[in-house]
Amino acid sequence: MKIDRVQVTYGELRSTGYPEYSNKRYELTLSATIESGESAEHVRQKLTFLTQSLVKKEFGDKDQMDIPF
């Protein structure tokens, strides 16, 4: 079997607010083609980090690394 592409989906659901409750969900899917010299695990780790960082940024979390795109 040849793996030539990796796709990662990450999402979070956050509930807030007494006395008025609200739910907010952000989900993101990224995929990448595996380049020569890369492993599927390495690409998966990079995509996981990026998806988690971008979802947390949508929630307004301040301590995440800025993504340059």
pTM above 0.75, yes or no: yes
Return the pLDDT at 20: 85
Return the pLDDT at 66: 57
pLDDT over 70 for what percent of the chain? 90
Instruction: Indicate the helix (H) or strand (E) that contains 11.
Output: strand 5-16
Mapped onto helix, strand or coil, the DSSP state of residue 31 is: strand
* 6 vs 3, more confident: 6
Mapped onto helix, strand or coil, the DSSP state of residue 58 is: helix
| Torsion angle in degrees (nearest 10) through CA of 54, 58, 64, 69 | 50
Beta bridge partner(s), residue 33: 5
